[in-house]
Amino acid sequence: MINMFEVNETNKMITQENLDVRTITMGISLLDCISDDLEQLNQNIYDKILRLAHDLVPTGEAIEREYGIPIVNKRISVTPVALVGGNACKTPEDFVTIAKTLDKAAHEVGVNFIGGYSALVSKGMTKNDENLIRSIPEALAVTERICSSVNVGSTKCGINMDAVRLMGDIVKETAERTKDRDSLGCAKLVVLCNAPDDNPFMAGAFHGVTEADAIINVGVSGPGVVKQALSEVRGKNFEILCETIKKTAFKVTRVGQLVAQEASRRLGIPFGIIDLSLAPTPAVGDSVAEILCEIGVEYPGAPGTTAALALLNDQVKKGGVMASSYVGGLSGAFIPVSEDQGMIDAVTAGALTIEKLEAMTCVCSVGLDMIAVPGDTSAASIAGVIADEMAIGMINQKTTAVRLIPVVGKKVGDNVEFGGLLGYAPVMPVNRFKCENFVDRGGRIPAPIHSFKN
Amino acid sequence: MKKTIITVVGKDTVGIIAKVCTYLAENNVNILDISQTIVQGFFNMMMVTDANNSQKSIAELAEGLEKLGASIGVSIRCQHEDIFNKMHRI
């Protein structure tokens, strides 16, 4: 039987080390909502979300109370809207009506974000995809809870550089449209390469077309728990270090597995995957940067940081896969800047630059995340940064993402406050040399040689 | 049978066990096992209980015990045993 030591260990993780289940995300397919009548389409979408998700928040809260584990967010992801809206939406403005419908449904069922205002254009864009992408700035400006993502590349297809160039403009325009809120719209817009179909984390969550009608995906977290465990093996060799991370990741993931199974059973919706990510928040002690420091670098960004992050990411996966039969999503360590107090401190101290972050994204689970850059950064430069990051994903067969926030009216050294889970961020410099002649070429970058495995 | 684990942690004082047990008896919760220590004046107790015959759900019991704990200056948690089983047993 369970003993007092084990019970206390679990409760200490929850009460002192910020162990939580970061999100229960219900994926909902909207493919059966398709109609050629815009009004009908919106009604179908609203009805379906309410029918499937009306119990999501109360169920999450009940599990939270029964097991004594915080479940921070309850969210929804839907089929990429570009695929759903195409029949009815002839203009970007038509797509915005769907964004408003999704926002209304999110408010009604009480979820704090709804993801899937998305287009998948890794090889080419249809007219519908382009209309959706062009509607993103308006959609993010007039809604509160919508998250948008665009997949512009993959290892199998290469990189759609027309879409990359367009996203440079869209990111700028989104910043401009939400400038009264420190360009907050860009915090809800992510550009991806190799986007997973079952990611429960925002802003990149959508319900892929390979998925069932509805599914429950769960994202676990717990950087504070890993940090605490590592503080007990300070100075020990890499074998012990890795073993400690693995064991901790196992324990954390088991809690996620329990919550996912319970949520799935109670809601009568199949369980999809556990995303075993270390997702930081601005709270002290809930930081991936602090783990890197505990591993042995003075600040993230110091020499050795990429290696430390690589081993962290790998050990988290190794511990996690033992704990759940179905792992998926992004699974690994997130390195957002604004959402992690340790990263913010590293930037402020001058230890961490965008270039070093780019190197770190080669070995972490996502990419350049929640980075505030000067408002006068050109659309071409943003497209160039996106292209670099997409290339890393394409060549390394991993998911990469870019969530840059060119904050209108702010320059290097200023601070930007987003509030809540999104935190605050010091504005970081972007390389000032030009790349127009590169990003303006048009067309696409072919898939790499190692994609031809057939 | 699902079991419920109750933990009480805080500064030692007169009547902690009495008050917790009274609350459990009133709510028809059967105590299966108790382990308790006091380290440097710090009270630490774990109870394994059977709450299947209680008219209250685990969530309601947890809420009631939390309030009781606040009134005597200790922290009381009441959780389904599976969170511990999952984490510590393969």
Q: Strand A424-426 and strand B30-39: pairing?
A: unpaired
Per-residue pLDDT at A143 exceeds 80: yes
Residues of chain A with pLDDT > 70: what percent?
100
Q: What is the mean pLDDT of residues B54-59?
A: 92
pTM: 0.92
Q: Residue A221: which pLDDT band, with cuts at 50, 70 and 90?
A: confident
Q: Which of B87, B89, B90 to mutate: most A Cβ within 10 Å?
A: B87
- Residue A18 is predicted with a pLDDT of 87
Q: What is the mean pLDDT of residues A334-363?
A: 94
- Nearest residue of chain B to residue A257 (CA atoms): B86
pLDDT in tens, A34-48: 999 999 999 999 999
Which residues in chain B are closer than 8 Å to A254, comparing Cβ atoms? 86-87
Per-residue pLDDT at A421 exceeds 80: no
- Residue B63 is predicted with a pLDDT of 94
Q: What's the gap in Å between the CA of A59 and the closest CA on chain B?
A: 12
Q: What is the mean pLDDT of residues B33-60?
A: 92
Of the partner residues A15, A66, A251, the one whose CB lies closest to the CB of residue B87: A251
- Residue B1 is predicted with a pLDDT of 75
Q: A119 near A80, Cβ under 8 Å?
A: yes
Strand partners, A25: A75, A217
Which residues in chain A are closer than 8 Å to B33, comparing Cβ atoms? 1
Q: Residue A423: which pLDDT band, with cuts at 50, 70 and 90?
A: confident
Q: A56 near A23, Cβ under 8 Å?
A: no
Chain mean pLDDT for chain B: 93
Q: What is the mean pLDDT of residues A430-448?
A: 96
pLDDT in tens, A248-263: 999 999 999 999 999 9
Query: Smallest Cα–Cα separation from A169: which of A197, A146, A136?
Result: A136
Q: Residue A453: which pLDDT band, with cuts at 50, 70 and 90?
A: confident
Is the minimum CB–CB distance between B62 and chain A shorter than 8 Å? yes
Q: Residue B41: which pLDDT band, with cuts at 50, 70 and 90?
A: confident
Q: What is the mean pLDDT of residues A183-203?
A: 95
Chain mean pLDDT for chain A: 94
Cα–Cα distance between A365 and A335 in angstroms, integer? Answer: 8
Joined together, the tokens standing for residue A369 give 């995340």
Per-residue pLDDT at A138 exceeds 90: yes
CB contact under 8 A, A68 and B78: yes
Cα–Cα distance between A251 and A244 in angstroms, integer? Answer: 11
pLDDT in tens, A46-83: 999 999 999 999 999 999 999 999 999 999 999 999 99
Q: What is the mean pLDDT of residues A443-452?
A: 94
Q: What is the mean pLDDT of residues B34-44?
A: 89
CB contact under 8 A, B87 and A255: yes
Q: What's the gap in Å between the CA of B14 and the closest CA on chain A?
A: 22
A453 versus A54: which is more confidently predicted?
A: A54
Residues of chain B with pLDDT > 70: what percent?
100
